A and B are shown apart, each in its own frame.
Chain A
């Protein structure tokens, strides 16, 4: 499937479209006053998990688009992979940054509770998201290889 240029480009686009904003919002990349890339001591694991979520999303989402388009299969797996990507992307990014600040300023205590949950459980949520994406990868690979088998 990834021998097709279109799916490879889609995977690369998904990877970078997820990675760059996530690194900015998680304060690994700063654009002001200078462009700075920085992994603070103690946040290495968080960085690795962001990379893992982006890599898995970039693999799993094009695979499921292929599966739906070529094999005319159900859309349930792509839904799960998008759900996994959203969970992985939203965990932690709300903590102290502009999104959390804007949400709390606009919606008050309810948003405060939601952002506190996403901050406090950032690592377990991202781990869960990676696990979910791995599961979708496994089932999708199995599905594609069995459907594409030449008898």
Chain B
């Protein structure tokens, strides 16, 4: 009898925990939404440590993506949604895109992020970024090991010695840490997370690998 009661209690606690977690998560989201509605004036997001701007720097809208190169959801967004954003907003100069690193999934997330800035030194940031999302595999299985990152650089016709020096000296470690802190400051609770900054500086958040229709519903009224 006691055993039955204990098992039922454990199950009840499990269900209650899930419901409580889901409701607190939802209320947190709602609070953040209210906070954002009140945001006005200059953009509160510090983009100085982020990626080079993809698209026109004068575009009225800035899309900020906080991502991790080992994140499966970021991979899905990259392959399912990003191309439509590029075609309809970036190439038409309605918006530009800045990527900021939020590496937390595994030890190779941080080194992969560093590698993109080492690639930027040789003018290949976005090519390297695309390579990482095209070759992504399971977390920390070696696909983003130091040797593999160097081989990506080699395939992009980069100077591999310069790339390796940059990686060995952890030249961009502080920059990535700054990106991470900026994400946390802006309420990031996972990857990918997007901040859409309107011409008047108001910011709207889109959390997760959401479909293109959501982005267009957020961006179009800002234009």
Contact = CB atoms under 8 A, between A and B. Distances in A.
Contacts of B4: 68, 75
A95 B71 contact: yes
A42 to B, nearest CB: 7
Given A27-B209, A112-B107, A96 B73 contact: yes
A79 B4 CA distance: 10
Nearest to A27: B208
Given A75-B3, A95-B105, A120-B141, A33 B76 contact: no
Contact of B11 (A36, A40, A61, A97): A61
Provide the main secondary structure of the chain B interface.
helix
Given A21-B21, A40-B209, 12 more contacts: A27-B73, A30-B214, A31-B26, A32-B205, A32-B207, A33-B204, A61-B11, A89-B18, A96-B71, A96-B105, A104-B104, A112-B105
Interface string A53-93: 00000000100010010000001001100100010010000
Interface residues of B, number: 50
A20 B22 contact: yes
Contacts of B7: 75, 78-79, 82
Interface residues of A, number: 43
Provide the main secondary structure of the chain A interface.
helix
B187 to A, nearest CB: 11
B139 A116 contact: yes
Contacts of A43: 76
**From B26, B80, B106, B141, residue with most partner A Cβ within 10 Å:** B106
B79 A17 contact: no
B211 A36 contact: yes
Interface of B: 3-4, 7-8, 10-11, 14-15, 18-19, 21-22, 25-26, 29-30, 33, 68, 71-74, 76, 79-80, 104-107, 138-141, 188-192, 204-211, 213-214, 217-218
B206 to A, nearest CB: 6
Contact of A119 (B15, B105, B191, B192): B105
A115 B138 CA distance: 12
Contacts of B211: 36, 38, 40
Interface in A20-41: 20-21, 24, 27, 30-34, 36, 38, 40-41
A61 B74 CA distance: 35
A95 B106 CA distance: 10
Contacts of A20: 22
A94 to B, nearest CB: 10
A105 B102 CA distance: 12
A119 B139 contact: yes
A17 B20 CA distance: 11
Contact of A82 (B11, B73, B188): B11
